């Protein structure tokens, strides 16, 4: 067998961030890590690489491509597929990574090594993009871990006690997750005799359907750690609180996109014919996750921990549409609904993290500041208040945050389609709980402070740009929701 040819355009969205990581290391070695010019050049290289990866998605938008094929491409015997689903997931990953990168280029970053941070961020982004195109078990596991392990180093770059504790917890979680993924992949391979996703169960050794099902369950459990699904979520609040804020934003967006990608590939691509069996448990896991996340978020007093538990609750909404994926006719629509909700959540979450980063830069407690730090924010920073308030309304699913309203409707449609009334009832209750979570924070924006509040840091230009981009995304998807619906239409299975 000869060496298969590589379609470089198909892999460009994943390849460009990886090449940029290598280039950043080389520039740091040649120019010297302490020179101001090095910081400017490496930061520019990282931004240009992510913009280039976004541009590479354009020619792939309507033309599916396959590469790393070791059999008949017409039979799907390829390890990497650049399909509409791949492009939609990569779009979410790259937009989130670009926002987190810009947030990391602001005040406070000189205390953290710039080169290491950029290299790890680009490596994790490359892994998440490669994961979206993976169509075999080995590529899926390697890409998912590539998207996760660099974040451990990013958290540890805080270099104090809390940062070390958060990094250790995340590392232990990553090790456990990898163990479940490896065991699940081994069982699926043993039952099918193929590494390709979607391979049928091999009957030569008897009825191995139960082994195959257990393997799928273990793969989902391993990916559930990345998505912060209950009961795989316990690392989330402490890690967010101990990580630098741009890294917490990365965990909240890119890591969640990678987790959803893995679950979609394992279930939607790997076992579509068994959707009637896995849809109900996945729906139950979704409503359990959103309920626990919202209930605990109601008790939080600090902004970062509230966002951490909010991430748990929102992860349930991201997964909920898959609870209605019963039958091949509904599966593609459920997957598209999950991806569309993910985009809406990522944009709103980045906006909230952008404001929190600016407040933390001017607060004596830094990232540990409480919700009372936002008391009377509208008097000091009216524009910032409007931006944060709008992001919270989008997360809550309240007008005028039309993007959030539409995202929740889209998430509920697949479940309504299969008449899973129990899931719908719990989801509706969680709509109310979510409103309470985010309005409780929003109420601080217009409250009168008991004493003078610290001034909000204006932020460096990259941070202001990140916040402006995220806020513009919230506004655009609310004024022109056709963008979210367009993604919904293009993110089917493939």
- The domains of the chain are located at 1-172+245-261, 272-494
Place 5 in a pLDDT band, splitting at 50, 70 and 90. confident
Q: What are the residues whose beta carbons fall under 8 Å from the beta carbon of 1, sequence distance 6 or more?
A: 70
Q: 382 and 390 in contact (C-beta within 8 Å)?
A: no
pLDDT of residue 226 exceeding 50: yes
pLDDT of residue 376 exceeding 90: no
* Burial (0-12, 13-18, 19+ Cβ within 10 Å), 142: middle
At residue 367, the pLDDT reads 83
Tell me which DSSP letter residue 370 carries: B
CA-atom Rg of the chain in angstroms? 22
pTM of the model: 0.92
Taking the C-alpha atoms of 283, 285, 288 and 289 in order, what is their torsion angle to the nearest 10 degrees? -110
Taking the C-alpha atoms of 253, 259, 260 and 261 in order, what is their torsion angle to the nearest 10 degrees? 110
* 471 CA to centre of own chain: 18
Nearest in space to 283 (alpha carbons), one of 256, 254, 317, 311 = 317
pLDDT of residue 150 exceeding 60: yes
Dump pLDDT digits (tens) for 379-396. 888 898 999 999 999 999
What are the DSSP E strand ranges found in 20-147?
65-69, 78-82
CB neighbours of residue 181 within 10 Å: 26
C-alpha distances in angstroms, 493 versus 74, 245, 283, 372? 16, 34, 19, 45
CA–CA gap between residue 112 and residue 305 (Å, rounded): 22
Phi-psi group of 220: left, alpha or beta (phi > 0 → left; psi -120 to 50 → alpha; rest → beta): alpha
CA–CA gap between residue 444 and residue 385 (Å, rounded): 10
At residue 316, the pLDDT reads 95
């Amino acid at each position: 067998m000869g060496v298969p040819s590589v379609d470089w355009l198909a892999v460009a969205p994943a390849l460009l961030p990886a090449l940029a990581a290598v280039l950043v290391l080389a520039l740091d070695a040649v120019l010297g890590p302490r020179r101001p010019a090095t910081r400017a050049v490496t930061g520019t290289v990282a931004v240009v690489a992510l913009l280039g990866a976004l541009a590479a998605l354009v020619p792939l938008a309507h033309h599916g491509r396959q590469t790393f094929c070791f059999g008949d491409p017409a039979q799907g015997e390829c390890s990497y597929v650049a399909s509409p689903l791949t492009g939609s997931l990569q779009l979410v990953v790259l937009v989130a990574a670009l926002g987190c990168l810009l947030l990391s280029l602001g005040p406070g970053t000189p205390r953290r090594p710039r080169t290491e941070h950029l290299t790890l961020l680009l490596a994790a982004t490359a892994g998440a993009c490669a994961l979206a195109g993976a169509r075999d078990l080995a590529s899926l596991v390697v890409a998912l871990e590539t998207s996760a392990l660099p974040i451990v180093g990013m958290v540890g770059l805080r270099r104090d006690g809390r940062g070390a504790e958060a990094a250790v917890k995340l590392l232990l979680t990553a090790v456990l997750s990898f163990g479940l993924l490896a065991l699940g992949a081994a069982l699926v391979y043993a039952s099918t005799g193929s590494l390709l996703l979607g391979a049928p169960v091999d009957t030569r050794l008897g009825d191995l359907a139960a082994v195959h099902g257990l393997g799928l369950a273990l793969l989902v459990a391993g990916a559930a750690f990345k998505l912060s699904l209950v009961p795989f979520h316990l690392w989330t609040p402490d890690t967010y609180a101990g990580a630098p804020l741009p890294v917490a934003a990365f965990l909240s967006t890119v890591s969640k996109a990678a987790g959803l990608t893995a679950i979609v590939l394992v279930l939607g691509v790997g076992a579509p014919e068994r959707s009637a069996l896995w849809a109900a448990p996945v729906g139950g896991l979704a409503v359990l996750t959103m309920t626990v996340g919202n209930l605990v978020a109601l008790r939080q007093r600090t902004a970062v921990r509230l966002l951490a538990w909010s991430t748990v609750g929102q992860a349930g909404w991201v997964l909920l549409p898959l609870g209605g994926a019963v039958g091949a006719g509904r599966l593609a629509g459920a997957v598209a609904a999950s991806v569309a909700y993910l985009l809406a959540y990522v944009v709103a979450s980045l906006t909230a993290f952008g404001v929190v980063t600016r407040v933390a830069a001017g607060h004596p407690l830094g990232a540990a500041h409480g919700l009372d730090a936002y008391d009377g924010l509208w008097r000091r920073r009216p524009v910032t208040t409007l931006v944060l308030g709008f992001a919270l309304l989008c997360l809550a699913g309240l007008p005028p945050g039309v993007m959030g309203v539409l995202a929740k409707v889209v998430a509920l449609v697949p479940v309504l389609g299969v008449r899973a009334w129990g899931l719908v009832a719990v989801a509706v209750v969680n709509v109310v709980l979510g409103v309470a979570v985010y309005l409780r924070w929003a109420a601080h924006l217009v409250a009168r402070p008991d004493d003078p509040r610290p001034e909000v840091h204006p932020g460096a230009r990259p941070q202001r740009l990140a916040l402006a981009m995220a806020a513009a995304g919230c506004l655009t998807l609310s004024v022109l929701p056709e963008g979210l619906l367009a993604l919904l239409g293009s993110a089917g299975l493939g």
